[in-house]
Each structure stands twice: as C-alpha cells, then as structure tokens.
A and B are shown apart, each in its own frame.
Chain A
Amino acid sequence: MAKLKDEAKLKPLTNKLRMLLDEDQLTNCMRCGFCLPACPTYAETGIEAESPRGRIALMKAVNDGIMLPDAAFEEQMNHCLGCRACEPACPADVKYGQLIEQARDAIEDHKQHKPMVRLIRHTAFHSVFTNPKRMKLMGQGLRLYQRAGLRTVARGSGLMKLFPKHMREMEQILPDAAAKGVAEQIGTRHPAKGERIATVALFKGCIMDVMFTDTNIHTVDLLTAAGFDVVIPEKQNCCGALHAHSGEGEGARSLARRNIEAFKQAGIDYIVSNAGGCGAILTEYDHLLQGEPEWTADAKWFAERVLDVSDLLVRHGREICFSKNVNKQEGAMQEEASGSIRITYQDSCHLRNVMRSSGAPRKLMRQVDGVTFVEMKDADRCCGSAGIYNITQPEMAGQILDEKMEHVKAADASYLLTSNPGCLLQMKLGIEQQGLGDKMKAVHIVDFLHEHMQN
C-alpha cells in the first residue's frame, strides 16, 4: 500500500528522469568497474552504490522501472562530488558527467527545498550569478562588510555562530573582495609584449573577478608577456557551471548563449580561463546546447577555442623566464635564497578530468628557477571542494579534506598551488584547520608564476 503511494508520488520525477537521462550512455556502461579506484566517494566508503558504476546502475534501474527515485536515490546523486575522475578512467568513454547532470536536473525540477534553501538557491542561481551587475554589487557588499570591520564584529559577537560550522570556517578564509573587477582596473585591451602570436579573450569568471581580481590581472600580464594580445569582452557573464552541476539546466544554457554572443564578436583565436571549474563547462557548451540547432555552430566554435591559461602558455606561448629573486616578500625570499623552497600542486578536478590538462601546470612549475616541484600523493584526487559540495555535503567533504591534508603535510612544501578558486579556498581551509598557516601558503598557480616572472 505504502509502496503504491510512493509510486504515485514519485511518478512525475520518474518520468522526468526517463525523459532526461541519456539511455545510450546508461547502456554504454558495461560495468567493468575500471572507474571504481578513481572515485573518491568509493575510496572513502567502499560501498558499490557510492561508486560511478553503482550510481549509473541506480540511474539505469530507475530508467528501466526496477527502482523508484526515492529519497535515498536523490541523496546518492548528491553524494557524488561531480569531480569526474571516473571519466578519464573509463575505457568505454561513458559520459558520466552528463548523466549526473541530467539526473540532478530532473531531481531539481521536482524538489521541495526547505524555504531557507529555496531562498538562497533562488538568489544565487536566478539573481546574483546570472547578473554581472548584481554579482559586482555582491562583491561590493562583501567588501563593505569586510572593510567596515563588520567581519570582526560578526566574528567577535558570535553572530557567525548562527551559521553552520563549515560555513563559519569558510568565512574566515575568504579573501578580501575587490570593488572593481579586472576590466575596470586595467582596461579591456592589452597588446602583446614583443611580436604577437595570437589574440586571446580572457574569461574572467564571476567569483574569480570579485574575490581574485589580482589573479585575473596577473593572468593578463603573463599572457601579454608570452606574446598574446588580450581582450576582455565586456558583455561576458558567469560560466554556468554551478547551475549545470546543481540541476539548473536552463539557467546554465541561458548563460552559455550570452557568453557565446559576447565572445563571438571579439575577433579572437583562443578563449582563456584561469579557473578549471569554469573552463571545463566552457569546453562543453556544445554539449550543453545540443538540443538547440540554431546554436550548434557557434557553440562548437566557442568550445573548441577554450584553453586553460597553463595550457595556452605551454602550447602556444613564448617561454617566459621564471626565477626566484624577484618581487621579494621577505619570508619567502629568505627561503628561496637558501634554495630550499619546495612547491606542490593540487589538481583542479575539472581541469584535469574534463579539460584533460595535468601536464602543462606541472611543466610551468618545473620551469621556475630555484624552486623544487614535489608531486604529492594523490594530487589528482578531488579535495572535497567540488563547487558547493562542501556546503551541501559537509561530512563527506570533511573526510576527504582531512585525507588530502595528510598528503599535503607529507609533501612538506612552502607553497601549495592550485588552478581553480574553489580548490584554492578549500586548500586554504585545510591549512587553517590543521594550523599549518605559518609553514605553508595556498596560492593560485598564476599568482605564483607572476610573482616569479622576470620582466
């Protein structure tokens, strides 16, 4: 009886899942299990349902009518980090990333969020991220809050205690927000130093441009030094990654269309991103808009041009000299002078698994004179940040981060470099939690390279 009731209640979701899930991809998984060792949630739990093969089997079971998409199913879909380490591990080329997005899209459509979550989601996905002006306003608001000392007041007064623990911790490591983004600070056009190799458009990202504006400025510096004309198309907006990963498919598509239009007009050879999470979805705009024939050609044009900054520098740029004795910062300089500086790197999952770039950043780090690059164990494993995962699944994210930090400690480096703002914040959080702040610093690879660039 209860079962029948469930069935009726879950009927719309079942239908939606059947409509959205790509049956070919579900069938392509031949259940060999090659993806199991790559999956962080499987490594953590050892439970089949927590593995890519298990999740695909669950989706297929719903699709085949063997199982209802009950609360546990939904929970399992949300447990996935979306790190997509299972994709390069799969010899059959199953597009897991697409499947999980389709599943989440369907779930989101039918979800009854608690009022508070609904409000936050609505504000985030429908007002702030979709609107550059509001994004900027939010940046300014954040900045005001930080500058006015409200942060200190809030932290001191226990106001922050009203937030869950993980959000409180996160708040502490947030960098100071900038009032002006990269384009407003340095302008939108920057000629190459020396002979021009190609013209590239910078995708500045929304979080990047508010919280890591300097990284964007440094990216422009590196690119011009390597021989690229850089333009920053003004009409660009959020990449849509958070939307796509959170089941807000239409939001993501609308942002994609707007970005394509903005870049199409810029007369460029490449589109460059310095955030793995953004870059990855940009390379998938063709897939994202595959149901819209009028966009096929332009989406393909766009997706084919996207490269991560490290890849662009290594593959097409002029070699830049990086060495230790510039832009001195005291502590760092002393160490560097003694030649003992060690750096290590945490892969951005989407940069590695979707953009398939892991060699280029390592090559650049090895080029820096006077520093030693050490590979830490499991650098290719997700750090648990995974978009908003550390907010929605704090427990699993915490476990994964703890394990990550063990490897970070073992690498014994002064700098921990990353290629994505989410990972960077997560690494900062890890360093703070473990009290390693006086020994090491988490830095974006672009900022590190910029600091060591010989002019």
Chain B
Amino acid sequence: MLNAEVKRELTEILGSSYCKDDPQSLVTHSYDGTPMLQSLPELVIYPENTKQVSQVMKVLNHYKIPLIGRGSGTNLCGGTVPVEGGVVMVMHRMNQILEVDIENLTATVQPGLNTKKFSQHVEALGLFYPPDPSSMSISTLGGNIAECSGGLRGLKYGTTKDYVIGLEAVLANGEVIRTGGKLMKDVAGYDVTKLLVGSEGTLAIITEATLKLIPPPQYKKTMLAMYSDLYDAARTVSKIIESRMIPATLEFLDNATLQVVDDYAQLGLPREMEAILIIEQDGDKGSVERDIARITEICHSEQAKQVSVAGSLEEAEKLLTARRSAFTALARLKPTTILEDATVPRSKIADMVLEINRIAKKYNVQICTFGHAGDGNLHPTATTDVRDTDEIHRVEAAFAEIFEATIRLGGTITGEHGVGVVKAPFLEWKVGPAGIEIMKGIKHAFDPNNILNPGKIFAKESRKRVVIQRG
C-alpha cells in the first residue's frame, strides 16, 4: 500500500479521477502482452501534460517510489508490469499531434498517440512514417520509442530509432530535458536522443517526440512465395539480400503459423505448404517491377512451389494484416504462447531455422516460427499451457538453448521487443560483463534512486551460459 501522504500529494497534482487505486484499476494495470507475468501496482495515474509528469516525478523521487510508464501495454518483455510495485503512469491522455511541419518534413507528437492514427494522419498529408510494428493499431508512439520497435518495413526503412530526431523527457528528479530537434544533423554532445530510444522507461519518461517523415513511395507490389521445404524458403531470404536487393518487406511464416493465420483471416492461404514468404517492394514503378521479376526468379530457383503476385492493393493489405495477427493467432493452438525475438545476421537465417527445429524436437515442445526474415529477426513461438508446469520447464530450457544458438551465430537475444524482465537474465550473454557495467553506470547517472521501471533490463542474477557442444 502506498503511503497515504504520497497519494494525497499525487491527487493534488492530478485530481482524484486521474489517480486511482481501486482494485479494478490495479488489476487492469498489472499485465501487458507478456505471458505468465502479473504484478499489481499500488496506484494508477493519468497525467495530462509535461508539467504534471514533472511534479509527479519529484514526489516519487523524494519518497523513492517506483514509476512505470505505460502506453497501451502491448510489449512482450514485461516492460509495464510493476514487478516491484509502485505507480503506473498511463500516457493515453497525452495523445495530441502537436505539429506536422511540411517544410522540414517532421512531426511533433505526444507519447500517448496511437501509432496507426499517426501514420494515417501523415499519409493523408502525403507523407510517410515507416515504422509499423504489428501492434500499431493498438500501440502508442511513446511505447514504440521506449522499445525501439521495428515492423514489417524495417528491412528497407529501418526501425523507430531511425525516425526519432528530438525528444522532450522528464528525468527521475523531475527535471525536463530537450534533446535533438528538427535537425537532420546534430553532434552537440552525446546523442541522448538515441540513448533514450529503446531505454524501456528506465532512464526518463518521454513527454514529446519530434519524428522524421519521408515522402511516400509511389508504387508498390506484394507477392507470396510458397515452399514445401522450410530450408528453401529461408535460403531464398539470404539469396535475395545477396543479390543486392532490399525489399520493403520480407516476412516468413512456417506451416503451423500459416494454418492458424488462415483460420483467423480466412484468406484461402496455401495451408499445405511448409513455409511461405510475403514479399513487398516499393519505389518507382520501373524498379519495383524489375525487382519483383528478379525476386520471382530467385524464388523459383530456390524451389518455390508457387509464386503469386497480389492483384490489388486491397489484397496486399489483407495479406499483411493477416501476417500481423500471426502471434495472437497462434494462441488458437494452445492457450499460452511464449514468443522470442532472436535476431541473426541475415545470411544465417536458414541455419537459425534449422537450429530452432532441432531444439524443439530435442525438448519435445511445439515451436512455430514466423518473423521479419529479411531483418534476420525470427519469432520462434512456443505454444503451450501455463498449467502444464513440466512442459513450461522444457520450453524454458529450449529457449535458453535457442538464445545460445543465436549468439553463436553472431546474433542477439532480442531484435525489437526489448529486454524488460524476461530477457534480463540473458542480457549479459550478449553484451558481456563490461557491457552490463557501463549500462548500469548510465542508469545510475539518470536515475540514482532507481525509481524508473526497476527490475527491468538488469537482472538480479545473470543466467549461467551453458554452451552446448555438438558433434
């Protein structure tokens, strides 16, 4: 329970209807999209502006009470679960588009703004904001920035970090800082903007962001390549990149994922295929047509059973929408879906797919794989049931081995979902003890009292890395 004095001070700042500790508010802010993780906060607050955020932080810093920023709670790493209690701060009321600057091609927004709403807004103005996480119809830009989210277009257009050029943020002590600006170049000191992107709410609360916009592509085409062998599909991915083509989208779905996605979307996808690739290219008409023709050739030479090009933009959009539902659709198989975010160099994607399947077999668990193959970013997803503890243990062991394989192939434990709670024990595998120390130093400089999203990124104890010898 929160000290009554703290609650009184916060209520004074926010007003009683935006400061809630009834059971209903607490329960509905105890989770996010992460499976098997729930922990009740002590208070839920809804600030309206930067000033309130700053006042709140001063109070909490004084009493050393944890503060967890929250967008729409769709992250998959436990990022908004208040594992050490404290106050959840929901950013939804700060959801305005403050400006779209047509001369500089930038937009300035508040963090609680919905990603898709923003994206549609700038598209209507003839501009383009490429980052498009599959959760974009729900997620907030603040959440995207804090997680440095990627999306289906990451391959060609990069991820959130490539579009954030300025921030306003509130530090743990309540100070408000501004970083970057409407500038395409800026080397005045450390790049704090980029440091805050992907900081998972552990360094500061973002209260405003300036985003870079680009002119939209004039033309696009979407195709579907179907394979009776997983490995052929994965090799096609590396071959396309090797041939010096960067499609806008290059997504991979295995058979199990394909089936559940079609159960949901009812598109008549080729359910008998072992794997499919969804490929989109955009740009000017001539080069799009040329790339699509060359990619079709590559697909065929890598044994694709069939290649088809979407007849209309509408059909293409349906395909991409269906792809976005993949993760949730997998819950049709079994109630608990545990998804990982392994990312390897793109040339290693086929090896990674084989490793995942080998490991799934070894531990006798079902792992379905889909993901942003063109980025080398796969989402091996275990379908299981929380109530089956034995299987959950096997799933955990399988994932530890998948992380190990990822690192062995030169990859990382998370490509876009963040470390949060769930990957904290593995972070040291990727960055090493010295890497952890420097990150802890940064954290301490920003937040000496450790009130911002405590328990995230840094584990109490790192997992021991078991290197599996195979031979």
Q: Which residues of A contact B (CB under 8 A)?
A: 24, 27-28, 30-34, 36-37, 46, 48-49, 54, 57-58, 61, 66-68, 70, 72-73, 76, 90-93
Check if A61 sits within 8 Å of B335, measured CB to CB. no
**Cβ 8 A contact of A91, one of B27, B34, B116, B264:** B264
Check if A54 sits within 8 Å of B72, measured CB to CB. no
B28 in the interface (beta carbon within 8 A):
yes
Q: How far, in whole Å, are A31 and B37 apart by their CA atoms in the complex?
A: 11
B137 in the interface (beta carbon within 8 A):
yes
A-B contact pairs, 16 of them (CB 8 A): A27-B386, A30-B35, A30-B335, A30-B337, A32-B138, A34-B138, A36-B72, A37-B116, A37-B138, A46-B92, A49-B28, A57-B27, A58-B24, A58-B27, A67-B23, A92-B328
Q: How far, in whole Å, are A32 and B327 apart by their CA atoms in the complex?
A: 9
Q: How far, in whole Å, are A354 and B116 apart by their CA atoms in the complex?
A: 26
**Cβ 8 A contact of A34, one of B25, B34, B325:** B325
Check if B72 sits within 8 Å of A27, measured CB to CB. no
Looking at chain B's contact residues, the main secondary structure is: loop
B22 in the interface (beta carbon within 8 A):
yes
Chain A residue numbers with a CB within 8 Å of B264 are 91, 93
Count chain B CB atoms within 10 A of each CB in A33, A48, A49, A76 and give the residue with the most.
A48
Please give me the 6 A-B residue pairs with the lowest Cβ-Cβ distance, nearest first. A92-B331, A91-B328, A91-B325, A91-B329, A27-B335, A48-B28
Interface string of B268-294 (1 = CB under 8 A from A): 000000000000000000000000000
Q: Which residues of B contact A (CB under 8 A)?
A: 22-25, 27-35, 40, 72-74, 90, 92-93, 116, 135, 137-138, 260-261, 263-264, 325-332, 335-337, 385-387
Check if A28 sits within 8 Å of B331, measured CB to CB. yes
Check if B336 sits within 8 Å of A27, measured CB to CB. yes
Chain B residue numbers with a CB within 8 Å of A24 are 335
Which chain A residue has the least Cβ–Cβ distance from B92?
A: A46
Q: How far, in whole Å, are A388 and B34 apart by their CA atoms in the complex?
A: 36
Which chain A residue has the least Cβ–Cβ distance from B44?
A: A48
Chain B residue numbers with a CB within 8 Å of A93 are 263-264, 331-332
Known: A32-B328, A93-B263. 6 other contacts (CB 8 A): A36-B138, A37-B138, A49-B28, A61-B27, A91-B264, A92-B328
Which chain B residue has the least Cβ–Cβ distance from A24?
A: B335
Which chain A residue has the least Cβ–Cβ distance from B23?
A: A67
Q: How distant is B372 from chain A, measured CB to nearest CB, in Å?
A: 17
Contact A34 to B23, CB < 8 A, known contacts A27-B335, A27-B336, A48-B73: no
Check if A58 sits within 8 Å of B135, measured CB to CB. no
Q: How far, in whole Å, are A30 and B327 apart by their CA atoms in the complex?
A: 10
Check if A30 sits within 8 Å of B24, measured CB to CB. no
Contact A92 to B329, CB < 8 A, known contacts A30-B337, A49-B25, A57-B31: yes
Chain A residue numbers with a CB within 8 Å of B331 are 28, 30, 91-93
Check if B336 sits within 8 Å of A30, measured CB to CB. yes
Q: How distant is A1 from chain B, measured CB to nearest CB, in Å?
A: 15
